[in-house]
Amino acid sequence: MQKNNIEIRVCMGTGGIASGGAEVLDAFRREIESSGIRASVRENCSTHRVGCRGLCAKDVLVDVAIDDEKVTYQYIKPDMVSRIVKEHVLENTPVTEWTVGEEYHNFHKKQVKVVLSDCGRLDPESIDDYIAADGYEAARNVFTSWTPEQVIAEMKASGLRGRGGAGFPTGTKWELARANVNDDKYIVCNADEGDPGAFMDRAVIEGNPHSVIEGMLIGAFAIGSKKGYVYIRAEYPLAVDRLRLAIREATERGFLGKKIFGSELDFEIAVKLGAGAFVCGEETALIASIEGQRGMPRSKPPFPVNKGLWQKPTVINNVETLANIPYIMRKGATWFASYGTEKSKGTKVFALTGKIMNTGLIEVPMGITLQEIIYDIGGGIEGGKKLKAVQTGGPSGGCIPADMLDLNVDYESLAKVGSIVGSGGMIVLNEDDCMVNMAKYFIQFTQEESCGKCVPCRVGTKRLLEIMERVTTGQGKESDLELLEALSASIKVTSLCGLGQTAPNPVLSTLKYFREEFEAHIRDKKCPAKVCKELIIYSVIEDACKGCGACLRACPAGAITGEKKKPHRIDPEICIRCGACFDVCKFKSVGRD
Amino acid sequence: MVKITIDGRPIEVTESTTILQAAKLLNISIPTLCHHPKLTPFGGCRLCIVEVKGMPKPVTACTTTVSNGMEVTTYSPYLEELRKTVLELILSDHPNDCMVCEQAGSCKLQDLAYDYGIRENRYEGERRIYPNRDGNPFIERDLEKCILCGRCVKVCDEVQGVEAIDFGYRGFRSKICTNYEEDLECEFCGQCVSVCPTGALTGKQWKKKGRKGGQVEVETTCPYCGTGCNITAHVKENEILKITSKEQTWNEGWLCVKGRFGYRFVQSPERLKRPLIKRNGKFEEASWDEALDHVARRLSEIKEKHGADSIGGLSSARCTNEENYAFQKLIRAGIGTNNVDHCARL
Ligand SMILES: Cc1cc2nc3c(=O)[nH]c(=O)nc-3n(C[C@H](O)[C@H](O)[C@H](O)COP(=O)(O)O)c2cc1C
Ligand code: SF4
Ligand code: SF4
Ligand code: SF4
Ligand code: FES
């Protein structure tokens, strides 16, 4: 009998591993090895560990592909494995009750995967997998038959812009570095990824580290660099391990090292671990950090392409930017430029989080509408609630109100409404989210992460935070709104680096679109979304209270008194507003106002 | 050379000149706090912002180098408003201590607050509180008054090469720290004290000895070594209160621990002012003639009796080159021995 080709792929990104991916993979291997199953499927069955495919909420995700027929399972635990092997692998009848549902397919339908195309397909710990999928072909081509000028022209034609936040055209950056004649030039991959909630770059390195290395190789060829660095945060241990392994393997194959692909060119890559400072993602701070200094930005110019690492011309590119490059060189600039809008080409990876059904990592063509992202890919708002806003760009970005859903997601359109694409954070907010509180959260983040060098950012964001704290605790004054605006405007123009220059954005954009929420906090001392604790009053609705005493027992502060079968009472002076009574009351007799 | 205009006035300067340096050549003063002409630019205080035609927003004059055709404006209501906000922010985190501060009268922050008439502050809020004081004998570090201009860090690194202090922590908690935040343990050159624009770093020795009023400045030369740094003695009622050095001296205003802090011997009651000769086991004051005769006689006797090589001479780094030359001549040619050495050789 003709044996089929069977591939089992287990998701083993950080999300997959956290859900038990390693155990599931082990279970598959054991099951197949044991009890003679191996013999019956013979050598045609292979098990693979693969990177994240985006929908971590449904981990552990497992693909079983028999020839080209792929079935995906969700929420797999080790004890489910033997049945899958028995029924599906051996008898070719998928266990339909465990397979993914419609939302998994919808989640992927409108996505276009370039950077993530091999994540979830290839084993990130095997260079052979990458090579089998045409990996390093683009680099080989470039090294053996292109000129640096041609590579730069191709990059410019593709329209690729930096994915690290600022959106600077990559080809132009390379051209500027190329023009600087110097024996020593550096190419640095920025894998600091400090935005709270962002994990695009982590997923790329965990899922396909070789694509980043190949991108760096091509970049090194274009600008004429012999040494590259990957600056990656130490909090990404799995990504660091896979990256190091990939560099080792690539070096063993001669893709890194001396006389690459038979050329006269050398290139090596060193890994530098960052200690988790958001500001170290800023390029001049990153340079200082690699040099062993405190990560503090300096004024530009001079720009890194002129005076960067060790004062030499340096190109700094984001992980996602670099991971795009092998695909662009393989399939051509025209192919890449066919995705996206006039000025924003290609695709962008977003970390879709918040009050959305399908949280996870998505890759979409630039220019897709918010509507499509939230409803078609994201599956709509959690719990059937009302969408309130979408926050993009993290602490440097802003919010987009629900009535702008037909907005295209690209650099220009988001900037026009006061937000940014940024590095790709996308937080969906619904009616239960307090916009003032959200803005306060981001200001708190930037304040804590400010490097302390310049006054407007170090002290100014502290004062912004204090005003926001006043507002959310009911101590806001009418004049605070103007003060917020005036101070924000000053911080934006006088801060030294991008951190301070963009720090007020979350405040400004919520003030712009949700001013009435600020006013409710200040004038009525009310938080419309019932998030700001100090503004909530819990009280027992006497008519509805059955006097069961559940709330009294649940209250950790001893704020509730009352006799059995008689209406209870909450002392607002003692109440710490934890909401335990509200949650525990079966008769909905605790009011929250 | 590059041609630019500042406030409408043209000037030609070299390419590496900053806007701030060019403005200085035109006698246009731009407010600064973190800048120090002898240290690399920092760009932290943001007070020196100026407008450059064609640039989307103000740039800092201390860090921006000129380029051809640049049109710079250093004063406008907009710039002044921004500067005022920055000052308000600095002062919102600064103790209101001028009444008792050592630095009052020579404090750059105080001067600027005066210039900008800052009394009310729109941005009152939490202040940093550091109750612990540094136990070292020379330098008072009152970091609540520190504005994090970074000048001390730079002088310690770039001029002194010691790197005893650096920025620590992040955000509002940022602070100039010693190693492990222990007491300062360094050369105590006091260079950091000399560049600190505020009362954050002052000398313990001149604490409560009076501020500027009633002092006279006496220009002199440091007596400690042959380098001969120019120093300024701040004298009140015939007592030296402190030593500083001016930027335009040949030593650029830099001093070491001895020159800056080692001046109190001048007033010491134990200081030797006349020669002493030991007679009957007791030192007695003598005139210079008596003393020199005594030395010459005894040296001749010793040489006569035991030979020239029984005598040796040890000279001092506190002498000038010329004095040291004369001394070795005396020992070699006058006494006739090569037994001559110098304390700095140790
Ligand atoms: C405060 C701050 C944090 C940043 N963090 C990151 C980061 O984590 N990763 C990143 O790629 N770029 C980050 N950037 C942007 C980088 O400075 C730089 O523009 C980018 O790495 C350039 O690469 P690209 O052109 O490929 O986008 C940050 C910028 C600022 C101001
Ligand atoms: S803006 Fe903030 S992070 Fe940037 S240099 Fe200033 S203090 Fe540091
Ligand atoms: S006294 Fe001198 S060595 Fe010590 S911290 Fe200050 S500058 Fe550095
Ligand atoms: S101690 Fe003085 S010189 Fe040092 S950073 Fe603070 S204010 Fe500047
Ligand atoms: S003097 Fe230029 S920023 Fe401080």
Q: Where are the domains of chain A?
A: 6-100, 127-337, 347-430, 435-524, 537-592
Query: Which of B249, B226, B239 minimizes the C-alpha distance to B344?
Result: B226
- CA angle at A190 for the pair A187 and A194, rounded to the nearest 5°: 165
Which of the 8 DSSP states describes residue A253?
A: T
Chain A residue at shortest CA distance from B91: A459
Instruction: Name the residue of A305, A318, A502 to mutate for ligand 1: max ligand atoms within 8 A of Cβ.
Output: A318
Instruction: Name the residue of B139, B149, B192, B195 to mutate for ligand 4: max ligand atoms within 8 A of Cβ.
Output: B149
Q: Does B254 lie in the same domain as B217?
A: yes
Scanning A66-192, the segments in alpha helix (DSSP H) are 81-83, 102-109, 127-132, 137-145, 148-158, 170-179
Please work out whether the CB of residue B254 comes within 6 Å of at least one atom of ligand 3.
no
Is some CB atom of chain B closer than 8 A to the CB atom of A449? yes
Cβ–Cβ of A458/B171 closer than 8 Å? yes
Percent helix / strand / coil, chain A, rounded to 5? 45, 15, 35
Q: pLDDT truncated to tens, each residue of chain B (346 aa)? A: 999 999 999 999 999 999 999 999 999 999 999 999 999 999 999 999 999 999 999 999 999 999 999 999 999 999 999 999 999 999 999 998 899 999 998 899 999 999 999 988 999 999 999 988 899 999 999 999 999 999 999 999 999 999 999 999 999 999 999 999 999 999 999 999 999 999 999 999 998 888 877 889 999 999 888 888 999 999 998 899 999 999 999 999 999 999 999 999 998 988 888 999 999 999 999 999 999 999 999 999 999 999 999 999 999 888 888 999 999 999 999 999 999 998 877 5
Q: How many helices and strands, by DSSP H and E, does chain B display? A: 8, 16
Q: Does B290 lie in the same domain as B255?
A: no
- Residues with Cβ within 8 Å of A1's Cβ and at least 6 positions away in sequence, in order, are none
Residue A1: pLDDT over 50: no
Q: Which amino acid is at A430?
A: N
Considering the domain boundaries, does residue B139 fall inside one? no
| Chain centroid, CA A349 distance in Å | 8
Quote the CA–CA distance of A392 and A379 in Å, as a whole number.
Answer: 18
CA of B54 to the centre of ligand 1 (A): 25
Query: Which architecture does CATH list for A6-100?
Result: 3-Layer(aba) Sandwich (3.40)
Over its C-alpha atoms, chain A yields an Rg (Å, rounded) of 27
Q: Does B292 lie in the same domain as B229?
A: no
Residue A241: how many CB atoms within 10 A of its CB? Answer: 14
Read off the tokens for B49.
């912002």
- Residues with Cβ within 8 Å of A244's Cβ and at least 6 positions away in sequence, in order, are A271
Which of the 8 DSSP states describes residue B306?
A: H
Q: How far apart are the first and last CA of chain B?
A: 49
Residue A3: pLDDT over 70: no
Cβ–Cβ of A279/B170 closer than 8 Å? yes
Considering the domain boundaries, does residue B286 fall inside one? yes
CB pairs under 8 A between A and B: 104
Quote the CA–CA distance of A394 and A278 in Å, as a whole number.
Answer: 12
Considering the domain boundaries, does residue B147 fall inside one? no
Q: What three-state secondary structure class fits B175?
A: strand
Which of the 8 DSSP states describes residue B244?
A: E
Quote the CA–CA distance of B116 and B334 in Å, as a whole number.
Answer: 68
Contacting B residues, span 34-53, partner chain A, CB-CB under 8 Å: 41-46, 49
Query: Which of B236, B231, B228, B244 minimizes the C-alpha distance to B190?
Result: B244
Q: Which amino acid is at B326?
A: A
Quote the CA–CA distance of A417 and A409 in Å, as a whole number.
Answer: 11
CATH 3.40.50.11540 correct for A127-337: yes
Q: Does B337 lie in the same domain as B277?
A: no
Query: Which of A348, A345, A433, A445 minimizes the C-alpha distance to A390?
Result: A433
Residue A448: pLDDT over 50: yes
Quote the CA–CA distance of B266 and B223 in Å, as a whole number.
Answer: 11
Quote the CA–CA distance of B169 and A140 in Å, as a whole number.
Answer: 46
Among A55-59, A64-68, A344-348, A572-576, top mean pLDDT goes to A344-348
Q: What three-state secondary structure class fits A397?
A: coil
Domain of residue B335, residue span = 310-346
Quote the CA–CA distance of B260 and B205 in Å, as a whole number.
Answer: 10
Which residues in chain B have their CB less than 8 angstroms from residue A483's CB? 122-123
Considering the domain boundaries, does residue B190 fall inside one? no
User: How far from A560 is each of A67, A166, A397, A536, A585, CA to CA, in Å?
Assistant: 65, 53, 43, 16, 13
Q: Are A366 and A350 in contact (CB under 8 A)?
A: no
- Torsion A570-A576-A579-A585 (CA) sign: negative
- Long-range Cβ contact pairs of A565-571 (< 8 A, separation 24 or more): A567/A540, A567/A542, A567/A543, A568/A540, A569/A540, A570/A538, A570/A539, A570/A540
Residue B48: how many CB atoms within 10 A of its CB? Answer: 27
Q: Which amino acid is at A343?
A: K
Indicate which atom in ligand 3 lies nearest the CA of residue B188. Answer: 1
Considering the domain boundaries, does residue B89 fall inside one? no
Buried b (16+ CB within 10 A) or exposed e, B302-326: ebeeeebeebebebeeebeeeebee
Read off the tokens for A271.
């890994």
Indicate which atom in ligand 4 lies nearest the CA of residue B155. Answer: 3
Specify the pTM: 0.89
- Residues with Cβ within 8 Å of A32's Cβ and at least 6 positions away in sequence, in order, are A38, A41, A45, A47, A85, A89
Indicate which atom in ligand 1 lies nearest the CA of residue A501. Answer: 31
Instruction: Please provide the size of chain B in residues.
Output: 346
Cβ–Cβ of A466/B92 closer than 8 Å? no
Return phi, psi of residue A563, to 5°: -95, 160
| Chain centroid, CA A388 distance in Å | 21
- Residues with Cβ within 8 Å of A105's Cβ and at least 6 positions away in sequence, in order, are none
How many structural domains compose chain B?
4
Which of the 8 DSSP states describes residue A387?
A: E
Scanning chain B, the segments in alpha helix (DSSP H) are 19-25, 77-92, 108-115, 151-154, 191-195, 257-261, 288-306, 321-329
Residues A474-531: tens digit of each pLDDT: 999 999 999 999 999 999 999 999 999 999 999 999 999 999 999 999 999 999 999 9
Quote the CA–CA distance of A235 and A238 in Å, as a whole number.
Answer: 9
Query: Which of A438, A428, A435 minimizes the C-alpha distance to A395?
Result: A438
Q: Does B341 lie in the same domain as B294?
A: no
- pLDDT band at residue A38 under the 50/70/90 scheme: low
Q: Which of A450, A452, A494 sits opposite B86 (nearest CB)?
A: A494
End residue of a domain, out of B32, B58, B75 = B75
- Packed helices B77-92 and B108-115: angle between N→C axes, nearest 10 degrees: 130
Q: State how beta strands A425-430 and A347-354 pair.
A: parallel
Is some CB atom of chain B closer than 8 A to the CB atom of A486? yes
Burial class of residue B16 (count of CB atoms within 10 Å of its CB; 0-12, 13-18, 19+): exposed
Please work out whether the CB of residue B44 comes within 6 Å of at least one atom of ligand 5.
yes
For residue B252, give the CATH number of its domain: 2.20.25.90
Q: Does B318 lie in the same domain as B334?
A: yes
CATH of domain A347-430: 3.10.20.600
Considering the domain boundaries, does residue B35 fall inside one? yes
Considering the domain boundaries, does residue B83 fall inside one? no
Considering the domain boundaries, does residue B263 fall inside one? yes
Query: Which architecture does CATH list for A537-592?
Result: 2-Layer Sandwich (3.30)
Q: Does B251 lie in the same domain as B299?
A: no
Cβ–Cβ of B171/A487 closer than 8 Å? no
Work out the average pLDDT over A417-435.
93
Return phi, psi of residue B291, to 5°: -65, -45
Q: Which helix (H) or strand (E) holds A501?
A: helix A498-502
Q: Name the residue with tokens 């008054």.
A: B145
CATH fold of A435-524:
de novo design (two linked rop proteins) (1.20.1440)
Indicate which atom in ligand 3 lies nearest the CA of residue B155. Answer: 7
Instruction: Kindly report the nearest CA distance between residue B89 and chain A, in angstroms.
Output: 6
DSSP string, A26-45: HHHHHHHHGGGHHHHHGGGE
Q: Are B169 and B217 in contact (CB under 8 A)?
A: no
Quote the CA–CA distance of A481 and A521 in Å, as a whole number.
Answer: 11
Q: What three-state secondary structure class fits A274?
A: strand
Which of the 8 DSSP states describes residue B64?
A: P
Read off the tokens for A173.
């950056």
Please work out whether the CB of residue B33 comes within 6 Å of at least one atom of ligand 5.
yes
